[in-house]
Amino acid sequence: MSEGLVFEDVSLSIGGTTILRDINISIRVGSKVVVIGANGAGKSTLFELFAARRRPSSGKAQILGETIGSTDMRRLRRRIGVCGSATLERIDPNLDLMEVVLTGVEQVYSNWFSEVDEGQSTRAIELLGVVGLESRRGERFSNLSMGQRQQVGIARALMANPSVLLLDEPFAGLDLPSREGLIGRIDRIARDYPELTIILVTHHIEEIPDAFDRVVGLRRGQVVADGSKQDVLTSEIISSVFETAVDVYQVGKRSVAIAK
């Protein structure tokens, strides 16, 4: 467990307001976990803790065997791949796709590097292949749709061989075909990288890829559900997590919530 993520009684306050309270969670190496909750539940703040971008106000947070607050945070962050809308917005839109993926080596956002070795170039091409965009590697990032940018962002996040991959609402703003395509690609990545710990944050249960087998529910800054998809994705529990009466239906291997 020392190389996973372990939070013990973690709370975090910002500007005198408690955002997260008494978070206890252990995530094993190779786990595929989804964090769900309504807007304002604390998902983004918990994501920032998972990414080693914030320190808890109290409690103990360990990521990959290192304790937040008593380790080199910049070095730790190099072991964590992050993809989300906020990350994509910071990338220089004039870069081509190869250049964008290569910025993941040092987790920067522009083409400041002068030399790229053959191994790095080969890996960048391979990762663009993983997300289905190898043939477009010379195209400008600004030419891509939002869904395609998310795909490139995932390739970028994987470039440095991270131990943890964090995906922050990767399906936000996508139309139906783009969303379904990206769900499928993330599902395949989860299966093809069994040792990679992946944490996906969303507020739509229908966006949970099949390979993700654990769901953590946040409500008002606290964990109110944590277990297998079968145990958590029920009408009663999802209604409690979102504080809204819903019915949860099974459609194939996916779940859908509809308000009563």
pLDDT of residue 1 exceeding 50, the answer is no
pLDDT single digits (tens) 53-75 = 999 999 999 999 999 989 999 89
pLDDT, position 72: 92
Alpha-carbon Rg for the chain, nearest whole angstrom, is: 18
Tell me how many degrees the CA angle 250-252-258 measures, rounded to the nearest 5. 35
pLDDT single digits (tens) 189-234 = 999 999 999 999 999 999 999 999 999 999 999 999 999 999 999 9
Q: What is d(CA 118, CA 225) in angstroms, rounded to the nearest whole number?
A: 46
pLDDT, position 114: 58
Tell me how many degrees the CA angle 18-231-198 measures, rounded to the nearest 5. 65
pTM of the model: 0.94
Domain boundaries, the chain: 1-76+164-173+195-260, 80-162
CA distance to 11, 35, 116, 149, per residue, from 88 (Å): 28, 21, 22, 7
71 residue type, one letter? T
Average pLDDT over residues 95-124: 86
Q: Are 1-76+164-173+195-260 and 80-162 the same fold in CATH?
A: yes
Per DSSP, the residues of 150-193 read: HHHHHHHHHTT--SEEEEESTTTT--HHHHHHHHHHHHHHHHH-
1-76+164-173+195-260, CATH topology level = Rossmann fold (3.40.50)
80-162: which CATH number, 3.40.220.10, 3.20.20.70, 3.30.300.30, 3.40.50.300? 3.40.50.300
Task: Output the six-digit token pair for 72.
Answer: 């080199």
Q: What is the mean pLDDT of the chain?
A: 93
pLDDT single digits (tens) 106-120 = 888 887 665 778 899
Q: What percent of the chain has pLDDT over 70?
A: 98
